[in-house]
Homo-oligomer: A and B are copies of this chain.
């Protein structure tokens, strides 16, 4: 019997989750829930209904896990605690400073309903967090490094679009290769923001706009660009569409450390190179949806993160097969 999945939302992440449900042999999509007019939402799976979120409780017994694909700023802080009482849920909440608060709220809802929730699932937080934890556990005497990219930052692209005279823009976060090398060599460098990442911007300016002024405004923008070496390219709308319409991302988690009182050094490196950030994130969400379903079936309830979930729960294979083929 398949694990019955519901998806809340139908943006890039939700479409990724829809695709991921198809890639997994033991999951099936039951419904997509939207706040929009349901007739306006056409999904990529045949014979699966689009349902207004107001009617989501009608699906309480028809869905094993709800994959909530809202944004962290305003959607998830409301949606996840709300749905966690009635469904096993998985979300990708990534506002780091607010995770403790989100965790507590969702935990209370899940426990009230006897359900499981898994928050902050994806690759960072998510797979990167796992690698930070494993790295710290096996090399307690060491140092953590996380680099992001090369990849598109939606937040930074949006910030550029708000500059007067900018029609459209895409921003890539790029790790500084020489900094990566210093870390890999075990130098344990203290790296500033500027030393870790470059920001490369592809900008479409409005006709007649003052490009020098736009470039200056971008480069001096506090929080977003002022602390970085920023490269600005002006390109045409056609070039932006042709060469920068993907949503790639990735990055590196490196733990360097030593054993035997500093006598021997070790480097643990985990990296991702992703053609599609939302599709990969959604694939992680669906794997954790499987875990949520199975853990809840075993009687577990409450809010979990990737730290609390034994890896075997993520796999469709049983323990004996995993030990035989992957151990």
Chain A, interface residues (CB within 8 Å), range = 35 or more
A24 and B106 CA atoms in complex are apart in Å by 33
**A140-B23, A276-B264, A315-B136 are known contacts. Are A99 and B327 too (CB-CB below 8 A)?**
yes
Q: By DSSP majority rule, is chain A's interface helix, strand, loop, or mixed? A: helix
The smallest C-beta distance from A263 to any residue of chain B, in angstroms, reads: 8
Stretch from A14-22, A46-54, A156-164, A172-180 forming part of the interface with B: A14-22
**Taking the complex as formed, is A307 at the interface, i.e. its CB lies under 8 A from any CB of chain B?**
yes
Query: From A268, which residue of chain B is reached at the shortest CB distance?
Result: B272
Q: Which residues of B contact A283 (CB under 8 A)?
A: 138-140, 259
Name the B residues within 8 Å of A166 (CB-CB): none
Residues of B within 8 A of A96 (CB): 327
Q: Which of A76-84, A122-130, A190-198 contacts B (4 or more CB under 8 A)?
A: A122-130
Q: A120-B327, A307-B327, A311-B307 are in contact. Are A284 and B127 (CB under 8 A)?
A: no
Give the contacting residue for A287; candidates B99, B138, B290; CB below 8 A: B138
Closest to A265 in B: B275
Given A24-B140, A266-B273, 11 other A-B residues pairs in contact with their CB atoms under 8 A: A19-B260, A23-B140, A25-B140, A138-B280, A140-B316, A259-B280, A266-B276, A267-B271, A267-B272, A307-B323, A308-B311
Show 15 residue pairs from A and B whose CB-CB distance is below 8 angstroms, ordered by the A residue.
A127-B134, A132-B326, A133-B311, A133-B315, A137-B290, A137-B311, A264-B274, A264-B279, A266-B272, A266-B275, A269-B271, A306-B327, A307-B322, A308-B310, A310-B310
